[in-house]
Each structure stands twice: as C-alpha cells, then as structure tokens.
Chain A
Amino acid sequence: MRQAILFIILAALLPVAVALQDLLPSIPPFQARVQLLPVVFCFGVLALPLVPSLFFALATALVQGLALLQVQSGQVELGLTVPVVFFLLWAIMLQMASEATQGMRWEVHAFGSALVTLTLLGGEFLALCCRRGGFPVEMTVLVRIAIPSAASLLLAPLLYFMLRNLVPVFVETEQLPKKPGFHR
C-alpha cells in the first residue's frame, strides 16, 4: 500500500516537473535549461523497490519522450525507444547503487541526477546528430550539457530533503529493513 502511494506521488510529480522546467528561465550566455525530470526520476528510482522503479522509469520515459516529441511531415524525429531504453538502464544502475549503499543516500541521488542529466542531454544530442547529420561539437553544445548537469547536482539535495520532510511516506520507506531488490 505504501509503495502504491509512493508510486502515485512520484508519478504525479513527473508532469509537474515538466511544466515547472518549462517555466524556469534559461541560463545565460548559451541559454542552457534546467532539467527537473532527471532529478525526480533519480529520487523515484532510489525510493522505490526494483519492479516499481522499472515501471516508474517507463513512466518517466513516456513523459520525457512525449515532452520532446517532434513530428515533421508525419515522421517522428525521436520516438519513445531511446528514452525507454535509457531510463530503464539507468533505473537498473541506480538500483544497484542503492543496493551497494544499503539504502537511499542523498549523495547517490545528487550524483545520479547529475549523471542522468549529462547522459540524457548527451544522448539526445547524439541521436539528433544521427538523425539530422553533422556532429558539431562546439563550446555551446558542451555548455548546454554541462550547466544543466551541474544544476541537477545542486537541485537534487534540495528536492531530496524537501520530499523527505514534506512527505512522511518517503521517510517511512527508508526505515524498512531491506528493499526487495537485487538481493539473493
């Protein structure tokens, strides 16, 4: 029951994160944008047991994929395959990290959020280069990947402690003896 409540709260946070990140202003000079979805995704994956976290990853992929979907002349530029594979792989890796640290830790969440943002933006860029041609690795591109990743690193602890303090169900989950995850 507690897991179901957790899942619903986290799933509801996904569209909120998408709406909020659109409202946040860009960061000069290269108009880098803050990404909130990877931060919420990392928190969800670390807070949930393995199977629900995989479903949560699928929900995140759906939201992210649809938020960035571009259909031009009936052709989809980037479908849902890339985000689905990406978030499922990250969910498994973060579950393993959570297992290694014997539970949810804010450091794992912070660095995980930064790495997910970094690989998400880098992956999108590579996918676009494959689709549109060319591989223009310029300072602009690097900054547009680095700044959101750094922003995720800084925002992750804020979200972590805010959710822990505002939503008691997250604290209760951490007090469970062991999560049914990767153990033998």
Chain B
Amino acid sequence: MKKIQIASLVLLAVLTVAFCMLEAGTLRWLQSGMLEIVSPISLSGSAVKSSIGSLGKDLVSLDQLQVEYERVLSENRKLRAENNGLRDLQQDNDHLRQVLGYRERSSFRLVPALVLGHDAGAWWSTIKINRGSADGISPDMPVITDKGLVGKTTAVSSNLSEVVLITDENCRVAAKVEGTKEQGICAGTRDPAGDLRLTFLSKLADLQPGQKVYTAGVSGGIFPSGIALGSVKSFHARELDGEAILEPSADLGSLEEVFVVTGAK
C-alpha cells in the first residue's frame, strides 16, 4: 500500500470520527449550509416543474380549442378564447384577493411562501418552501394556511426553509377542543392517511365527530393560540387517558402556498 493511501485512510478515519461526534448546533449549521447549496437546484427545478405542468395544461386547452374550431365560426372561437382567458384571470384575481385578504385579516405578521416540494424521506413529513433567513424566517416559526396550521420551520438557509408538518410524529402541538375544557397534545402518526392523534385528554371527554380543535398556545411555546388544527374523527378512552383521531384542517397533501408566522402585528 502506498504512503498516500495510508495517509488517506487515516484522514478518512479522522473525518469519520469527527462527523460522528458533531453536536446538534453544528449539525444544524451544516444543514443550513447544505440547504444553501441545494436551494438553486430546488428553486430552478421547481420552476421547471411548474412550467412543464402549465405546458401540459396549455396543450389540453389547445386541443379543446381545436375541437371548438371544428364546431363554431372563427369569430365565435376567438371570442370564446378571449372569454376563457378572462375567466382564468378572474380566477387568479379571486384567489390572490382571498390570499391577500387573509394576510390582511390575520392578527399575525405573515410571510407568504411557495411550497417547492415534499422531502423524499420515507419516515418524515417535511416540505421545503422558497423563503429563508433573508425574509426574516428563523427555525421554529409556525407555518399556516388560511385553513389552519401546517407545521413549523426547522432548518433555514438564506432563501430556502424546511418545514416539518403537523402530520410528523416529531411535531407536537398543545391543543384544545372547541366548546370543552379538554386540552391535549396533538402529533402526527406514521399512517400515510395523514391523520393526527390528540392524546392526554380526559377519559370521560365526550368528543363528537366534527368538533374543531385549535392550538392552545402554551406560554413559551412556538404556536400561538387559536389556530385551527383539525376536526375530531373519532374518540376512544385508553387505560389512563382519552385519545382522539383528527383530520387536519389544512390540506397537507396538496399545499401550494403557505404563510410563515414571523410574529404578532
């Protein structure tokens, strides 16, 4: 074996031990650094993905227009196409007004963000969003939509952040049930159905399907009080406490736009 190979193996051993001994702070710093490297690829990949998606939609529209061309006069077709275009604009306008309205109505300072994609890890529920420390975002900030709580930020780089969803077992939220004094801890499950589990309720709690559950907002916690978490699907008493299964308020499977809560207004 050459000397350079022996030296390389020694270096490898040193690096291996060093990596294995890294602490949480250093690992988080390294993770932010990696997000910094990955962010240009993720952002441009997401842009390409949405362009390809809209290209598919345009092709469908062209096809439909071709059928229309066979059936109606050219002037009529032109008017229809124009009308379709205006309708799309109206839908976009309505959507943006709704989003803007929520942002203005909300009592929180919100930073709007686009979801770039779900992380590929099999056992964790996380997404990446296109906002980072440059937009005033830091780790452990709540992420919401106009429907309810989505999760909280974990790793943050300058223009990309990772959000752990409430459907992840690691994301625990203090919660209260509407119309009762029941409070518990809400967390995700490993079930792909994406339900939430609300535990530490009273065994005698008489929860009915459809009852709303909100964040309890404990002091020193991350999540402010009163954000919708989900609605009760079922309730059963266990040996020591009661447990409810919740359906999340926000549609976590098809998130496109979210808001990061950076503080109170």
* Interface positions of A (Cβ within 8 A of B): 15-16, 18-24, 26, 29-36, 51, 54-55, 58, 61-63, 65-72, 74-77, 79-81, 84, 88, 121, 124-125, 128, 132, 136, 140-141, 144-145, 148, 180
- Supply 20 further A-B pairs (C-beta < 8 A) apart from A23-B42, A32-B122: A15-B41, A18-B38, A19-B41, A20-B41, A21-B120, A26-B118, A61-B19, A65-B19, A67-B34, A67-B119, A67-B121, A69-B155, A70-B124, A71-B24, A71-B27, A72-B170, A125-B122, A140-B192, A144-B192, A180-B5
Asked if B122 and A124 sit within 8 Å, CB to CB, the answer is: yes
Asked if A23 and B45 sit within 8 Å, CB to CB, the answer is: yes
Q: Once bound together, how far apart are the Cα atoms of A156 and B8, in whole Å?
A: 29
Q: Once bound together, how far apart are the Cα atoms of A140 and B122, in whole Å?
A: 11
Given A22-B119, A66-B30, A68-B124, check contact A51 B8 (CB 8 Å).
yes
Shortest distance from the beta carbon of B49 to any chain A beta carbon, whole Å: 6
Majority DSSP secondary structure for residues of A touching B: helix
Residues from chain B with a CB closer than 8 A to the CB of A66 are: 27, 30-31, 34
B42's nearest neighbour on chain A, judged by CB, is: A19
B34's nearest neighbour on chain A, judged by CB, is: A66
Asked if B190 and A68 sit within 8 Å, CB to CB, the answer is: no
Asked if A80 and B19 sit within 8 Å, CB to CB, the answer is: yes
Q: Once bound together, how far apart are the Cα atoms of A172 and B229, in whole Å?
A: 57
Residues from chain B with a CB closer than 8 A to the CB of A62 are: 19, 30
Shortest distance from the beta carbon of A84 to any chain B beta carbon, whole Å: 5
Q: Once bound together, how far apart are the Cα atoms of A93 and B103, in whole Å?
A: 55
Asked if A68 and B22 sit within 8 Å, CB to CB, the answer is: no
Asked if A55 and B191 sit within 8 Å, CB to CB, the answer is: no
Residues from chain A with a CB closer than 8 A to the CB of B169 are: 132
Asked if B28 and A23 sit within 8 Å, CB to CB, the answer is: no
Segment 196-252 of B: residues with Cβ below 8 Å from A: none
Asked if A77 and B12 sit within 8 Å, CB to CB, the answer is: no
Segment 164-184 of B: residues with Cβ below 8 Å from A: 164, 169-170
Q: Once bound together, how far apart are the Cα atoms of A69 and B20, in whole Å?
A: 13
Q: Once bound together, how far apart are the Cα atoms of A165 and B5, in whole Å?
A: 30
Q: Which of B12, B45, B122 contacts A54 (CB 8 A)?
A: B12
25 interchain pairs, CB-CB under 8 A: A15-B34, A15-B41, A16-B41, A19-B41, A20-B45, A22-B42, A23-B45, A26-B118, A30-B192, A33-B121, A33-B122, A35-B120, A51-B12, A66-B34, A67-B119, A68-B121, A69-B28, A70-B170, A71-B24, A76-B23, A76-B24, A77-B170, A80-B27, A124-B123, A141-B190
